[in-house]
């Protein structure tokens, strides 16, 4: 039989020096390496946080600019008192405008536009509204000399176009017929 040989363990470089002792732990060298690694980690984290702070600052300044411009737009449409929910008010106003477009002329708005410049001199006898156009019959009196001024005031209305269709002088005033259209 052949003799068995026991293999010798492989030698690890630096595992023992000539004195036969194992590797020496150098705590000063390890501390310096730890401090250097910690410094790099702190520097990298500081750079990352600095970048995030700059990004936040730029986003915040852009948001402030957008809010300021949006507030200007709200005030240009709704006036100085924009309320707690200006977007809701805009939706409400848009709904009213689209309803007028779908339904046609609003009789109360037409009556308000007719009566505002005339005061007590006008009596509306009939209104016929057919979608986007309408006809108004009425009586203007007793101050007939103010009728032309009344028609001129109606032509300056911001919401409707008024055109005189018929005019007849009767005892004590003028009967008239107007055609109304939205602007």
pTM (two decimals): 0.44
- Domain end: 103, 129, 152, which one? 103
Residues 151, 93: one domain?
no
Residues 109 and 97 grouped into a single domain: no
pLDDT at residue 22 in the model: 64
Q: How far apart are the first and last CA of the chain?
A: 120
Winning range, highest mean pLDDT, from 37-41, 120-124, 146-150? 37-41
Residue in the block written with tokens 């004590």: 172
Last residue of a domain, one of 103, 133, 163: 103
Same domain as 110, residue 99: no
Residue 20 lies in a domain: no
Q: Does residue 94 sit in the same domain as residue 132?
A: no
CATH number, residue 111? 3.30.1360.100
Identify whether residues 172 and 108 lie together within a single domain. Answer: yes
For 83, the domain range is 30-103
Cβ 182 vs Cβ 160: under 8 Å: yes
Residue 6 counted as domain residue: no
Same domain, 97 and 126: no
Region 117-128: what's the mean pLDDT? 81
Q: What is the pLDDT of residues 55-106, one digit of tens each?
A: 999 999 999 999 999 888 888 877 788 777 888 888 887 777 766 566 677 7
* Tens digit of each residue's pLDDT (9 = 90 or more) over 10-58: 655 555 555 556 678 888 999 999 999 999 999 999 999 999 999 999 9
Same domain, 52 and 69: yes
Distance CA 70, CA 51 (A): 28
93 and 115 inside one domain = no
Looking at the structure of the chain, the number of domains it has is 2
Examine residue 23 and state whether it is found in any structural domain, yes or no: no
Same domain, 110 and 178: yes
Where does a domain end: 103, 138, 167?
A: 103
Q: What is the dihedral of CA 97, 160, 114, 178, to 10 degrees?
A: -130
Out of 6-20, 49-63, 126-140, 144-158, give the one with best mean pLDDT.
Answer: 49-63
Instruction: Give domain status of residue 4, yes or no.
Output: no
| Per-residue pLDDT, 81 | 80
- Strand 133-140 versus strand 122-130 pairing type: antiparallel
């Amino acid at each position: 039989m052949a003799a068995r040989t026991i293999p010798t363990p492989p030698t690890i470089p630096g595992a023992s020096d000539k004195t036969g002792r194992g590797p020496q732990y150098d705590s000063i060298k390890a501390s310096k390496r730890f401090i250097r690694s910690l410094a790099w980690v702190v520097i990298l984290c500081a750079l990352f946080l600095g970048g995030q702070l700059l990004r936040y600052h730029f986003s915040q300044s852009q948001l402030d600019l957008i809010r300021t411009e949006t507030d200007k737009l709200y005030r240009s449409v709704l006036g100085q008192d924009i309320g707690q929910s200006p977007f809701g008010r805009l939706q409400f106003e848009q709904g009213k405008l689209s309803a007028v477009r779908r339904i046609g002329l609003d009789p109360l708005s037409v009556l308000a536009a007719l009566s505002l410049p005339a005061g007590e001199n006008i009596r509306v006898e009939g209104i016929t509204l057919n979608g986007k156009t309408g006809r108004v019959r009425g009586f203007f009196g007793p101050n007939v000399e103010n009728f032309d001024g009344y028609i001129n005031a109606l032509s300056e209305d911001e919401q409707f176009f008024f055109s005189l269709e018929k005019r007849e002088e009767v005892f004590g005033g003028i009967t008239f017929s107007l055609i109304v259209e939205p602007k």
